[in-house]
Structures are given as C-alpha cells and as structure tokens.
Amino acid sequence: MGNVPPHLPPPHLRDPGDAWAVGPDGQKFWGAFGAAGLLVWHREAGILLQHRAEWSHHGGTWGIPGGAIRQGEDAISGALREANEEAGVPAESVTVLFTEVLDLDFWSYTTVVVESSDVFEPVMGDSESEALAWIALDLVESFDLHPGFGKSWPALKLKLEDLAN
C-alpha cells in the first residue's frame, strides 16, 4: 500500500471503477467504467466551478465536480454522487436538463447538466478542490479551464443560453 497516493483509500477499499482506462494508443483516462461530471447551473448565479487540486489530473485548472463512475452505477447517479462528495451539491435542489456524452469506444465521459433551484453554498468535502465558486456564464471562459471542459464549454453555454431565453 506504499504506492497508494494519500488522497486515495487503500486498494481493497476502493471501487474497481477507481482506476485508469487505457486506450489503444496508450492514452489514459480516469474511471475504468467511464466518468461523469455535474454542470450545475443557476439562472442568476451562473455555473458552479471547481478549482481542481494540484495533485489531480489537470490540477490547477477549473472545471466541474465529477469523477469515476462506480461499478453498476449510471452516469447521472455517478455525477450527482461525485458533485455531492466534492462540492456539497444537494441532489434534491437540482433538476436534470440534459446530458452530453464524449464516447471514445473504450471510455466515455458524461456531462450531466442540471439546474439548481437554490444558490447553495458549495462545500469542499474532500481534497479534490482548491476552491468552489459560482461563476457568471459570460465569465467561465476567462478561467484556466480543464482541457476537456474547455473544449465542451462553448456548446454547453449555447444550450444554457437557449434555455434561459
């Protein structure tokens, strides 16, 4: 157990989904069963962004709370669980609007977009965040975004702006 990073529980306590998926070209993605993130939107407050801990994959960037999907878990449940663990997102305050899936054949990432009925105070529930903040839609792209989130943000923003009108 000496090579288990301090932020992870011992291997015998982890879900088998807490592992790297390795593509045919050797590229690695976190989550043996895929991963999911929760994009929390409030019409007045904006988007809940997470400043990722330096030790994490693409650490120091801003994105949405999320992570590996557990064995037998669907993407929406995984995104809600991860967002609650990492940012204290109350599942009872959000409504699923839509999902976007990046499917690489051997691994997938699902962005679950929800609308929050409340502007709740996000809470860092684990060591995966350096900060959590509500950010206006028009300011999101001014942050140093996680590469995957940065690539998907323009299309997600357009959908949210359509819903707001």
Q: Is the pLDDT of residue 127 over 80?
A: yes
Asked if residue 47 is part of any domain, the answer here is yes
Asked if residue 140 is part of any domain, the answer here is yes
d(CA 34, CA 79): 11
Asked if residue 13 is part of any domain, the answer here is no
Asked if residue 15 is part of any domain, the answer here is no
**For the chain, how many structural domains are there in total?**
1
Asked if residue 1 is part of any domain, the answer here is no
C-beta of residue 28 within 8 angstroms of C-beta of residue 20: yes
CA separation, residue 67 to residues 44, 77, 81, 138, 159 (Å)? 26, 11, 9, 25, 23
Asked if residue 17 is part of any domain, the answer here is no
**Average confidence score pLDDT of the chain:** 91
C-beta of residue 31 within 8 angstroms of C-beta of residue 22: no
pLDDT tens track for 73-114: 999 999 999 999 999 999 999 999 999 999 999 999 999 999
Q: Is the pLDDT of residue 115 over 90?
A: yes
d(CA 79, CA 82): 5
CATH number at residue 98: 3.90.79.10
pLDDT the model gives residue 128: 83
User: Where in the sequence is the domain holding 41, given as residue range(s)?
Assistant: 28-164
Asked if residue 134 is part of any domain, the answer here is yes
pLDDT tens track for 10-40: 555 578 999 999 999 999 999 999 999 999 9
Q: Is the pLDDT of residue 59 over 90?
A: no
Residues in the chain: 165
Asked if residue 156 is part of any domain, the answer here is yes
